[in-house]
Structure 1
Amino acid sequence: MTGSFAAFFILSLLTIGGAVFMISFTRVVHMVISIGITFLSIAGLFVLLEAEFVAISQVLVYSGAISILMLFGIMLTKHDATDEGKSRAQKSWISFVAVAVFFILMFFAIQNAPWPNVPAEGTPDVSNVKQIGIDVFTKYVIPFELLSVLLLVSLVGAIIMAKKEGGKE
């Protein structure tokens, strides 16, 4: 067992565990913490894949910005801290069976898939950050700008919605 395999195993368990806890918890603050753990462990998986830029972006965008956005959402909404009770137990069994069937299907699909032994393309002396920057600002400049406009519109919409709800009370 190599160190990278052990790190992959630990990060995979953290990723899956955080996602399962995010679905299982009933308090919103606990959900945000568990999804933050999931985002950080996914960034660790990107580091293992030697995609450092994507890992740093994952930490900055998802673990930082999205988690803080969720916390603002918690503060701006009214939520009840009570549990659902008996109906939640029945839903959890149905969910467990569905996830188990999905896992078995995916396991057999992955085991029976033909995986070609193709070497990776590209030159190893080129920095992936430099190549990403060149691609974003040459080939993908229009989708990049459209994404920035979409984010700006969603930010303005969130501010307008928060102001309207604040004015009602």
Structure 2
Amino acid sequence: MATFFSSGESIVFFVCALLAIGGAIFMISFNRVVHMVLALALTFISLAGLYVLLSAEFVAFVQVLIYAGAISILMIFGIMMTKHHQGDEEEPRRPVHNVLLAIGVLGLFGVIFYAIQYSEFKSGEFQAAADNTMEIGKLLLNQYAIPFEIMSVLLTIAFIGAIVVAKREED
């Protein structure tokens, strides 16, 4: 364990991983939309930090750039489309639910831990491309051009659908 924390890269990985996991847990735990969105933003920024550690600077930049815009839209739609009560209502306590949740989390952790411990990983040094952005561009515009365009059409349809749903509830 001491050798893991001997390099700065390992410490940054550990901090980014904890922030990503913590932000995801807080996102599903909070009750207010604004707090949920801020926790989600923390998760996305932490994931961008992990991408930088993997020498994928372009993906990290796109992660922050695109999800910052997506989070802004999510916040606007979330606040506009939810009902806000003045008083905070206390949720009923469910001890059985919490026990089952803890058992499920521990079981999932055990399965993931087992899978990581007994997996065979290839040893050797990873050789990244000289220019990640150029390689991604070549792949998107040559090999994956049609799926890329289909994704853009799908996202446009989803955005139009969200506007239609928001407009319909307004009337």
> TM-score, normalising length from structure 1?
0.88
Which of 127, 140, 143 is residue 139 of structure 1 equivalent to?
Answer: 143
Q: What is the DSSP-based 3-state SS (H/G/I as helix, E as strand, rest coil) of the residue aligned with 2:44?
A: helix
Give the distance between the partners of 1:164 and 1:109, measured in 2 at CA.
47
In the TM superposition, residue 163 of structure 1 has moved relative to its aligned partner by 1.0
**Is contact 1:26-1:83 (8 Å) kept?**
no
In the TM superposition, residue 119 of structure 1 has moved relative to its aligned partner by 4.4
Aligned to 1:82: 89
Aligned to 1:153: 157
Q: What is the DSSP-based 3-state SS (H/G/I as helix, E as strand, rest coil) of the residue aligned with 2:126?
A: coil
Structure 2 alignment gaps of length 5 or more: 1-5
Give the distance between the partners of 1:77 and 1:91, measured in 2 at CA.
29
Give the distance between the partners of 2:73 and 2:59, measured in 1 at CA.
20
Determine what percentage of the aligned residue pairs are the same residue.
39
**Is contact 1:53-1:129 (8 Å) kept?**
yes
> TM-score, normalising length from structure 2?
0.87
Aligned to 2:56: 51
In the TM superposition, residue 118 of structure 1 has moved relative to its aligned partner by 4.6
Structure 1 alignment gaps of length 5 or more: none
Paired residues in the alignment total 163
Asked whether 1:162 is paired with 2:162, we answer: no
